[in-house]
Structures are given as C-alpha cells and as structure tokens.
Structure 1
Amino acid sequence: MADVARLAGVSSQTVSRVSNGHSSVTEETRRRVLSAMQELNYRPNSAARALKSGRFRTLGVVLFTLATTGNVRTLEAISASAADEGYAITLLPVATPTSTGVRGAVTVLGEQVVDGMIVIMEVRLLDAAISLPPHTHVVVADSDAGDRYSVVDTDQSGGARAAVRHLLDLGHRSVVHVAGPAESFAAQRRAEAWRLTLEEAGCPVPPVVSGDWTADSGYEAGLALAADPSCTAVFAANDQMALGILRALHEQGRRVPEEVSVVGFDDIPEAASFFPPLTTVHQDFAEVGRLCVDGVLRQIRNETAERGTTLVPTRLVVRASTAPPPGG
C-alpha cells in the first residue's frame, strides 16, 4: 500500500479509501491510485479488510431448488447485481422443504461469515426453523413476511388478474385454472386472483386443477380438460404447465386457440417458441434480483430500508395461444 501511495503521490489512507470504494475521493485521484495499483500489480488483502471492517463482501442465498425457472433466473439476477456491487454470493440449497432442512442451511450459512442473507422460500419455514437475531440483514423473495422482513416479489395478483381478464374480454364465459403447489405463496396468490376476477365478473368459478409447476403435471391436467367440451379457456400458473397442457390438447385433437385458449405465467425465453406461441404474464426476474441485493445492502450500510413488500410489476404478453371461443 505504501508503494502504491508513493507512486500515485497520495497518502496510504487515500489508497485504502479507493480500495474500499469510498466516495470521498476525487475521480482524478481515484484514477491515479488505480493506475498505480495496476502498474505494481497490487491486490488488496480481502481477508485483512474483512477482519478490520467486519464486512466480508459476501451475501448468502438460501433457496429450495434450482429446478424452477423463477428460482434460477432470480438467482442469476442476484449474482449479477451482487457482482456489480463488488460482492460475491454463497449459495445454500435446502435439500428438503422442511424446518429441519432450513435450520441446517441457515446454520451452515452463519458459519461461512456472510454480511447478509437473501431467502428464496416460504418465510413460514424460515420462522419455524430458526429465530434470527434482530440485527440479521435479511431480504425475502417470492413470499409473504408481513413487516418482519423486507420482501421483494412479483405482482402475482396483478399478473393473474390480467391473464383472466384477457380471456374474459375475448368472450370466454369462464376460465379453468391449473394451479401450482398448494404450499407455494406465488401459487396461492395467482389462484386467489383468478377466483376473485371471475367472481367480480359474475362468471362461474370451476374447481381448481392442481399441478406442481412441471410440464408433466400440466400434461395430466390437459388430458382431463381436453375431455371436457365446456372448457374453452385455461390459465396455467406457470409456463411449464402450460406447455404440458398444449401437448395434451394437441394429442386429444383440441385445437389451440380455435377451440381452447391457453395462458401461462413467467414468460420464459422459450414461450415464444411454443406451438402455438404462448400468451403469458411476463415477470421481471432481473429487477427482483436487483432489488433483493439493493435491499440487503441498504441494511448492511445502515441506510433506510423499510420492512414490508416491494412489488415488481408484471405485464401480459399476448401471442397466438389465445382467441375468442368457438362461435364467439
């Protein structure tokens, strides 16, 4: 550090400020210091800096599975946003969605010295698993934590309402819903919004068809729906289940969208390549990940970070899988 300071013509304290990203350094001075660091091949000792500051520039991420599109894309966005802020992430997948599994992951995470946690799971399991100290920096994604933690979530209800209204506006008299797992917060919100939208429009509310986010469960649901001639519109809780529904309807000779319209949720990159291209609700996973990182860093820096929920807007993407009902 002394060599860098000498070459750049500044004090060692200024070199330290540049190394730690402090804003109290002019841009010209910062450039001189960085140039001297590069010339001397100087690398700040991150371990020593962590011991001195009490910060390790690492965020822990706890989640259940990497098998779902939402989790993978949210994690990707968290990783990119953390890197932009000079932070690394430590990933702790929970093998089983139980309080014991969560407790083990949180315990391991605590041993790996992280500055804050981003939790992608149902917060009820976090509460059941372990009592976090009040000073723990936590942001929860895709769940409901009331005012206990900061939450970042997609506008699940708004997206589901837009999907159902789109189908009703096309002239469909009702809409069947293929839901996600009952224990999922996102699935609950989407199913509730589907039901309320139908009730407010004075339309019949069919029984919910249960799925588990997979294309296979959508396929099974689609086989049953294909045998029901009264079914003209389906809202699937995610795009993978919508894909299975499209396959089942095709195999059973029910044309989409001429006989049955199908809407999904997520807008995965492949949705436009389904046959037919899928009408779906677009989620901004990149913004969810960015806001998660921003929220936990605000807590770490002792900046204002109100508890409660930040909703990221959704938008309906209309493609070729929806049309007016037969005779409509």
Structure 2
Amino acid sequence: MTSATNTISPGTLGPAAVGGDVPDYFALLKPRVMVLVIFTALVGMAVSHGHVQPAIGAISLFAIAVGAGASGCLNMWWDADVDAVMSRTATRPIPAGRITPGEALGFGLFLSCASVLVLGLAANWLAAGLLAFTIVFYAVIYSMWLKRATAQNIVIGGAAGALPPVIGQAVVTGSVGIESLVLFAIIFIWTPPHFWALALIKAGEYARAGIPMMPNVAGPASTRRQILWYSIALAPLGLVPVALGFGGIVYAVIALLGGLGMIAFSVRVLNNREGEAEKRAALGMFGYSILYLFALFSALLAEQSLGLFRPVLA
C-alpha cells in the first residue's frame, strides 16, 4: 500500500493569521508532551548515582521542558500543512490561522537557543549538548525528513522522545550511564506500538496528508503484527532495571504485569480487525500503553526518591 501525495508544501498556512495570544503560543509547545519529557527526565535524575542541588535540578528540568516545547513548536511550524488536513490537529494555532508560520519559527528558534544556553550554564555542557541534539533530531531529522520519507519514521524518530532520561542523568552526573540508556531503550521500543495503535485508526487521514505511516505503507495486518512483536520485545526489556539493580520489588511487579498487559492488548489489536471492534482495540492499546509507561517510571521514581527501594536480587 502507498500513501497519497500531499500537494501542500511544508510550513505553509491556510487561513490568514490574526495574531495569537498566550494560550496559542503555549499550545505550540505541545504541553502534554512537555509533561512526559519533564517526568522521564526527572526519573533519569532519580536513578543516577549522584546528587544535584534542588535549585539546579529545577532549573535544569525547566530548561529541558522548554527545549522539548521548542522542538514541538518547530515541528508545528514545518507540519502546518499536514496539521491542516487532519481532524485531531486542524485546530492547532498555525493551521487555524491564529499564529503565522514566521512567528512560530521565530518563537521556536528563540526557545531552542535559550533552553540549551540555560541548561549549559545551570548544569553542564554535556546535558546542554544532548538537549541541542534532541531538538535538532526531532525538528530536522524527524520532522523535515523521516516523517515524510519512510514508514519507519516513528521507529527512528522515537529516539528524540527517548532521550530526556539521558539528559536528566547527564545533569546529575555530568556523564551518561547504563541506567539512563536502559530507560532510553524502554521508551524507544515502547514508541512504535504506542503510536501505531493510533495510526491504525487515523490511517485515512495520514494517507490524505501524504504521510507514509506504517498502516498506509505495509498495511494494517503487518502493522498489527509489528505492534505485537514490539510489545513482546518490550516486556522483558522492562525488567532489565531489576537485573541491573536499580529497579526494586515494586518496580519488578509493575514491569512484569504491565509487560504482560502490553502483550495482551497487542493480541487484542491483532484479533480485532474490523469496524468498532478494531477501533476499540486500537484505542485500548493506545490508552493502556500510556498507563504502562507512566506506571513503570512512577515505580522507579517512588523507589529511588521515597525510600521504597527493596532489591529483588540481593
């Protein structure tokens, strides 16, 4: 299967912009994504073997969040044409005409530079460099190239969303350790089954927008199988923190049950292929995957920050 060709050029705007207000500019930052970035970066800090002053930690988290928002803003600037033809994004500030592409571009570039500079001055330049790499990877490599070029866009592009724990550990230790790399791997493998579940439902809109998402290129049946295989790979990967000694008993239970749940929801997606049953299964997978990742990282944060850590392997 092949996707349709989108005739609107990237970064263009349909309606004439009338000038945005503060909520419109805040919406450009993709605040829900920012919350996830702050959370996973905080967990990256928590699992690190080190200490950071609370003020520096707070400033660093703020800078990481702003950097993530900046990359989201640049993504919205470039993808204004795609957003305009998809129902879930058509009301975003640029396609809705509340903010011009030029304003969004300037805002995103300013926040990108400011966030990297603040993080470098507050914490260290390794963390700042990783944040700069994340912004460039998401805004340029993913948004401007991968998203419109390959059905593996989410797989490769998922690296950007998986980097916040690595940046968080770099803030605390000035280095990158195995703990944050494992968290990176978990988010990286989690991303395809999470996003492809939604893509199964939105395949028609992606086709109209000219985006080669997996259901449009490989077909829904292949996408369902890949969701299952990624979930099967994710389940044991989620237990690696236990084997490495930074995930305790609480985490082990959540990771084991949560991983089995991911597989169960994937099987449900595989077996429900038509009509409302397909939609319910895909939405169920999408929603559960969010809960899974939140529970997994919450367990690590609670064990490391609240004194709840009890090793499984003594």
TM-score bracket relative to the smaller structure: under 0.3
Structure number with bigger Rg: 1
- Structure ranking higher in strand proportion: 1
- Structure ranking higher in helix proportion: 2
